[in-house]
A and B are shown apart, each in its own frame.
Chain A
Amino acid sequence: AQSVAQPEDQVNVAEGNPLTVKCTYSVSGNPYLFWYVQYPNRGLQFLLKYITGDNLVKGSYGFEAEFNKSQTSFHLKKPSALVSDSALYFCAVRVVRNSGNTPLVFGKGTRLSVIA
């Protein structure tokens, strides 16, 4: 069975400082990894994905994430946080196989607060 862990329920960071939101995963097979953000009373917005290739992927709004196969991690990063980045962040994974794709499985989410 596949699973995603986001070890921090809450991350606080000062505006202008770098931010990291952690994600580790467990799958049988090659993972397809995603990050989403959710603002209050809204659905999830796609930020970035890792399918294959370069371990560092760049996404929307200046976010990036690094895929680390040996540590089974896919941490989300941004060099300089903005107050408007304050939201709920979800990491997700699925495995694509010839026999059929697994559903997208989400972590519990990490609430990011950027303080001015």
Chain B
Amino acid sequence: KAGVTQTPRYLIKTRGQQVTLSCSPISGHRSVSWYQQTPGQGLQFLFEYFSETQRNKGNFPGRFSGRQFSNSRSEMNVSTLELGDSALYLCASSFNPSNQPQHFGDGTRLSIL
């Protein structure tokens, strides 16, 4: 069974640009969550989607947005990139957003120049 797939693995952007990251969950998983991981702040929750509906949202500015498609694939978008957006962005999927463990992809490493 294929794991969570995140594309691209690495991305370099400049300030002011926008970026879209993609996540394909494990087959059958309908819940997808996104996290930002930085050395200073650790793992911070961005959003959680279940059946195309945003169920939870973290404390990030409106420049960060996401969506989930009918096939459970998810994308997140960051507009007007800032240097501080440089991070590893992790996607995780589970059957549902409750007591099931989340399974993580290997992330997208975003570097802002």
Contacts and interface: CB of A to CB of B under 8 A. Distances in A.
Q: Tell me if chain B binds chain A.
A: yes
A25 to B, nearest CB: 15
Interface of A: 32, 34, 36, 41-46, 49, 51, 90, 96, 100-109
Contacts, number: 53
Contact of A32 (B45, B48, B55, B99): B99
Interface string B1-27: 000101000000000000000000000
The number of chain B residues touching the other chain, given as a range, is 20 to 34
A104 B45 CA distance: 7
B106 interface: yes
Contacts of B58: 103
Contacts of A90: 43
7 contacts: A41-B106, A46-B103, A100-B56, A101-B97, A102-B56, A103-B56, A108-B42
B35 to A, nearest CB: 8
